[in-house]
A = this chain, B = another copy of it.
Amino acid sequence: MKTAIIGIGLIGGSFALSLKEHGLSDEVWGIDKSEQNQNKALELGLVDRIVTLDEAVAGTDLIVLATPVDTIPLLAVKLLNKVNERQVVMDMGSIKTELCEVIDRHPNRGRFVATHPMWGTEYSGPEAAVKGAFTGRTVVICNREQSDPDALKLVENIYSTIGMPIVYMAAEDQDLHSAYVSHISHITSFALALTVLEKEREEEHIFDLAGGGFESTVRLAKSSARMWVPILLQNKYNILDVLREHIHQLQIFRRMIERDDVKGLTTAMEKANTIKRILK
């Protein structure tokens, strides 16, 4: 099998490494708008050659979209316009509703498999690609009934071989759930970083004390705007819901602190402690 990956950054680059590591693809071709990324991806051995979109369509069996989510729906349509009845197109973006709506009526819809592998780091670009990245993480496949059985099977086989448990969801559910367990963490990290950077203007030594707890909560604030702005906007309504609830919870904390409400704070923290159940 030959694979083309569009967008050879953190996600696409790591996926290329996984395909090679597990012998899933004889060749991996790369497509990227940035010449710098093209050179870096070749240099790091993420891909065997750099090609154009038409070369990818002419010469590969599987085409993978790993670009920022705002570019995925249109690229998906363009690819579905061109592929034949044996080729498969898949995406790795973290939002699915708009994508699935856009390709819903396409005569080649069956050749597309919409996936969201739940892995990422705060870094970006080909140099951020990591070997063994996805293994052990969950992958979501959305609206599987719309994919042709052979296309679905090909993609399921890849993820299973990499060692990823597969969860099936409707696109809308996956976007809602991602807002709660992934997207909101990024917003709170960005906002926390800004809060402290703001204070640093008055208090220059404020970071002398930055310890382990701080580091783990603001780590995601290093994430790339090019990747995250489109995610927040494409998943706008779910994200506004969770953000409203999160601000509400912080306001409750604020009021309890203002009132020295030991009992309320204790109850809230003990309830929050039950998150243990879902963390290792």
Contact = CB atoms under 8 A, between A and B. Distances in A.
A159 B270 CA distance: 33
Nearest to A266: B225
B257 A239 contact: yes
Contacts of A176: 203
A188 interface: yes
Given A209-B140, A217-B217, A195 B266 contact: no
- How many chain A residues sit at the interface, stated as a range, is 35 or more
A276 B210 CA distance: 12
A138 interface: yes
Given A209-B182, A251-B247, A275 B218 contact: yes
A62 interface: no
Contacts of A208: 138, 167, 177
Given A208-B177, A253-B191, A222 B279 contact: yes
Contacts of A246: 191-192, 195, 250
Contact of A221 (B225, B239, B273): B273
Contacts of A206: 177, 180-181
Interface of A: 118-121, 137-138, 140, 167, 173-174, 176-178, 180-182, 184-199, 203, 205-226, 228-229, 232-233, 236, 239-240, 242-247, 249-254, 257-258, 260, 262, 265-266, 268-276, 278-280
